């Protein structure tokens, strides 16, 4: 396996020792129980999903939504330690601070939930959409999981099929078309996967949203003045960890139109990189080398397909029917 080849000898603290074993990253932190992005790599020195002494599922996973419960703390003005800072966020291995364009602040720390300082002269709850996107994703990164800019559709068997695209409007409208076709629940982006076992996925428990592209769109904004709109559809339960069937990448005029084709491993790596949510935060927490290896592991483990639309064509229920029927046929 490509992933096993690249990962052999990689140490969780960032050194390469030619396969001589892994140093427990936990020993490098003041806390004794910080998560790892690549657990098998930490525990066994190399990663091979087909020859692993223990189940990679034995590490328990909490739904991310349960980790970002509201706190009555006041968020700090700045982080004492920071690995990266921009005008909108600061991040360290154990904390994330977000500043909204309207002047609010959001702070997440493991075991402490989310603290919010609402901006002045804005309606109550103005920061809640940011809690469920940026706060949700930051908690996932800190907990050693990978957030993806993708929607999810709940299949009849309860598994989630992830839908991504280079364009937000394509994966959002395809997810809506699949939801209209099946009558099943959908999730908003981002969704969170365990990189070593991407059959385990979490959602933020929110109904799907759309980016406003026309003035005549009738949906209400997620917050006053926002260009993202809330859509009245059933939401996938964010309070539990779901099983994942794979990821479908919707392309615009690239590939055989109306055909669902499996993506090769090397192209999977490129697709994963394109759909990572808040990659700057992930890089700041884990480092570029660990992130690169996580891309490989995730691409190696997550089934991925491409479904091509005609250039300039929006997804419809007809295309959704083709996608779903081909997916079911390939699984049969």
Q: Write the pLDDT tens digit of every residue in 271-307.
A: 999 999 999 999 999 999 999 999 999 999 999 999 9
H-run or E-run covering 305: strand 304-309
State mean pLDDT over 176-180: 92
Distance of alpha carbon 262 from alpha carbon 268, whole angstroms: 9
Residue carrying structure tokens 């034995």: 58
Conformational region of residue 117, where left means phi above 0, alpha means psi within -120 to 50, and beta covers everything else: beta
**Least confident stretch, 12-16, 101-105, 264-268, 278-282:** 12-16
Cβ-based neighbours of 220, under 8 Å, separated by 6 or more: 229, 230
Does residue 74 surpass a pLDDT of 70?
yes
* pLDDT (0 to 100) of residue 28: 29
**Least confident stretch, 28-37, 89-98, 261-270:** 28-37
Does residue 57 surpass a pLDDT of 90?
no
Residue 73 is given by DSSP the state: S
Contact 130, 89 (CB under 8 A): no
Q: Confidence class of residue 156 from pLDDT cuts 50, 70 and 90? A: very high
Higher pLDDT, 253 or 317: 317
For residue 264, CA distances in Å to 14, 225, 237, 255 come to: 28, 42, 31, 14
* pLDDT (0 to 100) of residue 213: 59
Does residue 166 surpass a pLDDT of 90?
yes
Q: pTM for the full model?
A: 0.82
Q: Where are the domains of the chain?
A: 1-60, 61-331
Model confidence over 184-234: pLDDT tens digits? 899 999 999 998 888 899 999 988 887 655 565 665 565 565 565 667 789
- Please, what is the average pLDDT of the chain? 81
CB atoms < 10 A from the CB of 167, how many? 13
Pairing of strands 304-309, 242-252: parallel
* pLDDT (0 to 100) of residue 75: 96
**Least confident stretch, 45-59, 65-79, 95-109, 280-294:** 45-59
Higher pLDDT, 150 or 253: 150
Model confidence over 232-255: pLDDT tens digits? 789 999 999 999 999 999 998 777
Quickly list H helices, the chain. Answer: 2-7, 39-44, 64-67, 128-130, 136-142, 168-182, 265-275, 279-286, 288-301, 317-331
* pLDDT (0 to 100) of residue 41: 41
Q: Which two tokens stand for residue 55?
A: 């189940």
* pLDDT (0 to 100) of residue 9: 30
State mean pLDDT over 100-117: 94
Contact 222, 127 (CB under 8 A): no
């Amino acid at each position: 396996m490509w992933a096993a080849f690249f990962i052999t000898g990689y140490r969780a603290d960032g050194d390469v020792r030619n396969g001589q074993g892994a140093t427990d990253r936990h020993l490098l932190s003041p806390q004794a129980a910080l998560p790892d992005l690549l657990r098998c790599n930490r525990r066994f020195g190399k990663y091979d999903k087909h020859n692993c002494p223990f189940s990679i599922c034995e590490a328990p996973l909490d739904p991310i939504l349960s980790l970002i419960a509201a706190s009555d703390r006041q968020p700090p003005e700045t982080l004492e330690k920071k690995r990266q800072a921009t005008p909108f966020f600061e991040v360290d291995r154990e904390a994330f601070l977000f500043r909204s364009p309207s002047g609010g602040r959001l702070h997440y720390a493991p075991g402490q939930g989310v603290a919010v300082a609402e901006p002045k002269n804005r309606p109550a709850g103005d920061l809640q959409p940011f809690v469920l996107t940026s706060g949700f994703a930051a908690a996932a990164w800190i907990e050693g999981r990978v957030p993806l800019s993708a929607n999810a559709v709940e299949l009849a068997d309860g598994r989630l099929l992830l839908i991504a695209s280079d364009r937000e409007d394509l994966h959002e409208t395809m997810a809506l078309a699949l939801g209209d076709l099946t009558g099943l629940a959908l999730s908003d982006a981002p969704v969170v996967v365990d990189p070593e076992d991407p059959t385990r996925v979490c959602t933020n428990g929110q109904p799907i949203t759309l980016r406003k592209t026309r003035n005549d769109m009738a949906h209400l904004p997620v917050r006053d003045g926002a260009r993202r709109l809330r859509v009245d559809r059933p939401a996938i339960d964010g309070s539990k960890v779901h099983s994942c069937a794979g990821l479908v990448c919707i392309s615009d005029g690239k590939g055989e139109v109306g055909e669902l084709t499996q993506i090769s491993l090397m192209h999977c790596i490129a697709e994963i990189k394109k759909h990572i949510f808040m990659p700057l935060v992930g890089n700041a927490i884990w480092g570029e080398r660990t992130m690169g290896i996580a891309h490989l592991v995730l691409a190696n483990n997550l089934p991925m397909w491409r479904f091509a639309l005609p250039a300039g064509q929006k997804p419809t229920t007809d295309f959704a029917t083709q996608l779903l029927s081909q997916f079911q046929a390939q699984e049969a």
